[in-house]
Amino acid sequence: MPLQLGRGRKGKIMYKVIKGARYNTETAKYLASWNAPYAVSDFKYYEETLYRTKAGNYFIHGEGHGASPYRKREPDGWTHGEKIIPMTYEQAKKWAEDHLDGGEYEAIFGNADSGADATLTVSASAMRKLQQIQSQSGKTIKAIIDDMVGV
């Protein structure tokens, strides 16, 4: 049976714990996919999918054939493989700059040229604390965070 690459987000589920952080392609938010510039039948073909976990961690799920960066060593040679690669926010932005068009990039990371508002992921306990400060101060959560970082 031939390998089933070329599916982007619909690839098989992969779950890993790396340095104490969970990375699960089934529960993380799909952000974007990119395919290497080879035919799906080419032994060098691979695809990468960018995800963000509920905790706000970015990662790539890469999957490819036996001559791809994701290949796996077998006793008789190289075969299909896959891997999860954790990324910082800056690494995820760089990956998106290198692999996506401008519209796709801005859908994930916001307008590259403006000081527009951004989406922030915080823990549930941090959100409760922000809501407590909000109720005491009468400020919006946005204003509280802006004050905290000196904007």
User: How many Cβ atoms from other residues are within 10 Å of residue 141's Cβ?
Assistant: 14
- pLDDT value for 1: 33
In 53-125, beta strands by DSSP E: 58-64, 72-74, 77-79, 81-87
pLDDT at 116: 63
* Alpha-carbon span 36 to 47, nearest angstrom: 6
pLDDT one digit per residue (tens) for the chain, 151 residues: 344 554 454 556 888 888 888 999 999 999 999 999 999 999 999 999 999 998 889 999 999 999 999 999 999 999 999 999 999 999 999 999 999 998 899 898 887 666 666 778 888 898 899 988 888 888 888 888 888 988 7
- Residue 77: alpha-carbon gap to chain centroid: 30
Q: What angle do CA 126, 132, 134 make, to 5 degrees?
A: 105
- Specify the pLDDT at position 122: 85
Amino acid of residue 77: G
pLDDT at 140: 84
